[in-house]
Structure 1
Amino acid sequence: MSDAPSRAPATAAKPWHEQIRVGFDLETTGRDPETARVVTASLVVVDPHGRLAAAYEWLVDPGVPIPAEAAAVHGVTTERAQAEGLPADAAIVEIADTLRDFFDAGIPVIAFNACYDFTVMDRELARRGLEPLQNRWVIDPYVIDKQVDRYRRGKRTLTDVCDLYRVPLRDAHTSAADSLAAVGVADALARRYPQLQVPLETLQGQQCAWKAEQAASFQEYLRRKDPTAVVNGDWPVARR
């Protein structure tokens, strides 16, 4: 992408889910964002009509072995990453710079369970002594769904919420498919709950508060059995 001027989103006649928006997803070497390394990354651009307009994808050699458990989920082995992947130092810069361009242009970036993906990126940049992302205009369907339908029973994985909101999800656990599905879920939520059709800066602040409340509630539940349980409520990046 070309450099875009740094600005806040302009006030628009249409709500965010009817403007250009971007889906973002990572597949990594593990579940812990403090130690996970990026293996694949996808950014998909969706036009105001909900059609795929562009896609940016990376296959990354993380520089460490990819555990068999992780490879079984996303399908990328250590051997494939080493043979076909971009070296991690170059890939992380490219992914971060592309995200920066979208943020600077005031375009919302939608990521399901965004705190995982953006914490992974934060730690990858920190390992290299690089500037952290500003992470403006992030939309997280995982946090939003838990807020607007908080008493619904059952799992809330991307697959589950796609089924609920009738969003197609093909090739689950590939970053391209998951990022596009995240946009679909966010759009469905905005249509079903008009109170979400607020300015991006307002929604960003609301999600920070919602995530903190959700973490506090879950921590209180866990402490019934384990008084030392701690649930991090930071969003969209877990503070160290």
Structure 2
Amino acid sequence: MSLTRRNVGQAGRERRGSTIWEDEADEYWKTMEPAKRCRRITNYLGAVAVALLLGGGVFYGAQTALDAASIAALTARLSTPQVTPQNMSNVAPPAPVNEPAPMTPDHVELDLEALRGRCRVRGVQSRWHEETCRKLCVRDPHNAACMNGCSYGSLTVTKLVCDKMQAAEVPAAARCPDGVSCMEACRAYDDEKPFPDLRNSCVRGCSNIAPSACARALQVYRDLLTGGPQ
């Protein structure tokens, strides 16, 4: 069976993916002189048939005048892609492996500040303070003063934990930083009547919430360090 330019063109249109043999045949047709093309192809190959199984890409037969060694060599060429400057240019270089940059003092400081910021947001922006203070002050005769003192104590303790404590000391911490002065905060009621009843209710609310607020703030900090409950 003799090959012609038309046969090669039709085969290329009928088969969606060209084989290596077809690519080489196309190049051969382009470089051969028109006068010598048919004669040399006819003498060189008696019959060649290369087909692909649908979806399989398997070289299943070749009706040629080549000997067994030539067929084996052709099969090896079809199964092993050749490395050429053209296809080497399409090979993506291996992605570089980025090693983590060492932590500098500036990075550590930035990370700590970000952690403190998340602690404040999660610790303060919560209905826990209001709900807990309402339970503590429900029986206080001066509920409003008690609620004000309780809210002050709860929020102040939370902010102290987030702003003052170091990450390394939080996991084993059993107490919170000093800095909550309930008496000083409740002096705002010194000029309110009945005195000192309002001030005392304020101080009670502030003092009673401090232990619970401390435990909760520490837990919020620990959860952030370990990626615990949001």
What TM-score bracket applies, with the shorter chain setting the length? under 0.3
Greater percentage in strand: 1
Q: Which has the larger radius of gyration?
A: 2
